Chain A
């Protein structure tokens, strides 16, 4: 029997965790001599007060959708993919190679190719850690961390020695051809007069991210593969007994995870920068961990969490612009969210569980007392 009703598990506990994280963040703002309420107001106006702000918020949201889904899929197989950063870096390399290879006539042609390249490169970067975990028993967390660094070194090498145009100092690739330019929200909503989302980087990838949410939801809960992934995550011996191959599921789950993380590059490399630069991922791979933890590995939860972090990122940028609070505040908030929704989850869960058990016992007691009264 469950100790808690389902709504408490999926909504109450995460909200309480989040509340603690936010209260502590507020205290941090107080401690550095700023007003938390004003800070929140600045963040809301900056991130949600205009279509320009929304354009940035949704751009960040798109990044976190992909990395959050990537971590979630791995979580369902009880694998902790901490390598989203490296997989997204490699995805960026795939996008750059695809976009620079041909003078693309139209983005509709370039997008499928670039998306495939991004997903393939991301998946390839997850393949080796997955294979080593499944076959050689090396811990996937450590290998994926190592692959983040190897990926960063590889990107550095490719940018400096291969992709950098002659005569350019900055380690970055050349600009992508105009045919590979994705429509931004400004282009999409141009029929309203062209003033909406002006200059904001949100682009068509947002809709691909939303589609990815539905795809992951369908995959995990409505396909045979998803069932296998979930049962493997719940109990490996039971899955083996049911004829599910641990090696196969580990590798497939990580390939999907890596492909999702890699696909993020469509948003930041092809949609925004339109060229490949060093550290283009900017930590989004790690934010995916916070997003997946907060979203309880469910695509809808991931969507809400990605939106929240998108808001935090844009709001944080506005904060550093208008107040003396540095952008790094967002990293602190992110750390606290990971800490309280992930590692210290039991700190909130245990007392809440006890509360529900006490309430149920009290109800049962009352029920027993009632018939006795009636009999008298």
Chain B
């Protein structure tokens, strides 16, 4: 692999890692607060559809983004209602949300646009363009660093920068603010938080809505930045890969970025090379597809550094017994 090729693969790594990273941080907030969320996929899909649909109708990419976030927040609200208010099974609620999004998006897309479950192709102001960072032109001639800056760092849509900025922000919120401390505490020992006079329900709902917000951006990125329009099932399991990355990162923000970049890299290599020829052995593309999941199983089983989820994760909090 020569340098320009490597740069191209890394460039698409960044693009493919962005939705994973946003969804992964979304899951991080929710699961750190003790609410398991396997509905990341569904929220992303719903947001992808509504952002593309509204962007297509209004021609405004920003209205599209807002609509996507709103759709994701509605599903997050249902998840909160089921798993916090009515103390239902969080996993079952997540499964239901994934199916709800999968069915409703196609149903509504067919009703609104009659294009076989797609939205019209987006262009111009209805799609996020790529931002060229300052000095990328003149600096492009500098050896090695110039092309890296011009191709890898510059020239992405604004949501990519939002995603990577969200990493330090998430770290700061979780580990340097009072809210973050409480949020982590409510995922470990909600009774202690309750005893301190802080509302468990409110904290958990806040976490679930932050999760909805980030999933909304992730889904919108798919439909109105990475691609120009919605296609059925376009989230294509990314919500589950994000979930895998979250476990791989052991519920920590910086590690989440590393895991998402790794899984994004695997996707980028898998797209570019159908079968990876390493001289002695040839790795079939299916191995690359399965690798994120295999790595997660290995990590979960504790063979390489044990992943321990938040202690109160998945348990509804009952105040009085």
**Residues of A participating in the B interface, judged by any CB pair closer than 8 Å:** 28, 32-33, 80, 82, 128-129, 132, 136-139, 141-143, 145-147, 149-150, 153-154, 156-157, 160-161, 286, 289, 293, 324-326, 328-336, 338-339, 342-347, 350
Contacts and interface: CB of A to CB of B under 8 A. Distances in A.
A94 B97 CA distance: 32
Given A32-B107, A332-B100, A142 B95 contact: no
B65 to A, nearest CB: 24
Contacts of A338: 92, 95-96, 99
A154 B290 CA distance: 8
A332 B104 CA distance: 6
Interface centre among B286, B294, B309 (most CB of A within 10 A): B286
B12 interface: no
Given A328-B110, A329-B107, A343-B83, 9 more contacts: A32-B107, A142-B247, A157-B287, A289-B92, A324-B110, A325-B107, A339-B100, A343-B86, A343-B89
Given A141-B38, A146-B297, A344-B88, A154 B93 contact: no
Nearest to B284: A157
Given A132-B301, A149-B237, A330 B103 contact: yes
A330 B38 CA distance: 21
Interface in B286-321: 286-287, 289-290, 293-294, 296-297, 300-302, 307, 309
B96 A339 contact: yes
Q: Is the interface of A mostly helix, strand, loop or mixed?
A: helix
B193 interface: no
A339 B79 CA distance: 10
Contacts of A82: 91, 95
Interface residues of B, number: 47
Nearest to A340: B96
A146 B293 contact: yes
B276 interface: no
A19 B294 CA distance: 41
B261 interface: no
Nearest to B246: A142
Given A138-B301, A143-B297, A336 B100 contact: yes
Contacts of B98: 335
B78 to A, nearest CB: 7
B205 interface: no
Given A138-B302, A146-B296, A346-B88, A286 B107 contact: no
A334 B294 CA distance: 29
Contacts of B309: 139
Contacts of B88: 342-346
3 tightest A-B CB contacts, nearest first: A331-B103, A335-B99, A343-B93
B96 A343 contact: yes
A30 to B, nearest CB: 11
B95 A150 contact: no
Interface of B: 38, 78, 81-83, 86-93, 95-100, 102-104, 106-108, 110-111, 117, 237, 240, 243-244, 247, 284, 286-287, 289-290, 293-294, 296-297, 300-302, 307, 309
B38 A132 contact: no
A331 B244 CA distance: 25
B107 A346 contact: no
Nearest to B244: A146
Contacts of A286: 95, 99
Interface centre among B89, B99, B301, B307 (most CB of A within 10 A): B99
A345 B293 CA distance: 32
A339 B290 contact: no
A132 B243 CA distance: 18
Contacts of B107: 28, 32, 325-326, 328-329, 332
30 contacts: A32-B108, A32-B110, A80-B89, A82-B91, A82-B95, A137-B302, A143-B301, A146-B240, A146-B294, A150-B297, A153-B287, A153-B290, A153-B293, A154-B290, A156-B286, A286-B99, A325-B107, A328-B107, A328-B110, A331-B99, A333-B103, A335-B97, A335-B99, A335-B100, A335-B103, A338-B96, A342-B95, A344-B81, A347-B86, A350-B86
A147 B99 contact: no
A28 B103 CA distance: 11
A154 B287 CA distance: 8
B150 to A, nearest CB: 36
A328 B293 contact: no
A326 B107 CA distance: 6
B216 to A, nearest CB: 19
B290 A289 contact: no
B106 A328 contact: yes
A160 B284 CA distance: 10
A128 B300 CA distance: 12
Contact of B293 (A149, A330, A350): A149
B281 to A, nearest CB: 14
Contacts of B103: 328-335
A289 B93 CA distance: 11
Contacts of B110: 32, 324, 326, 328
Contacts of A324: 110
Nearest to B87: A346
Contacts of B286: 153-154, 156-157, 160
B179 to A, nearest CB: 27
Contacts of B297: 128-129, 132, 138, 143, 146-147, 150
A132 B302 CA distance: 9
Nearest to B240: A145
B297 to A, nearest CB: 5
Contacts of A141: 38, 91
Contact of B290 (A142, A149, A347, A350): A149
B92 A343 contact: yes
A344 B83 CA distance: 8
Interface centre among A32, A146, A333 (most CB of B within 10 A): A146
Contact of B82 (A80, A145, A343): A343
A332 B97 CA distance: 10
A346 B86 contact: yes
Nearest to B111: A32
Given A324-B110, A332-B107, A143 B300 contact: yes
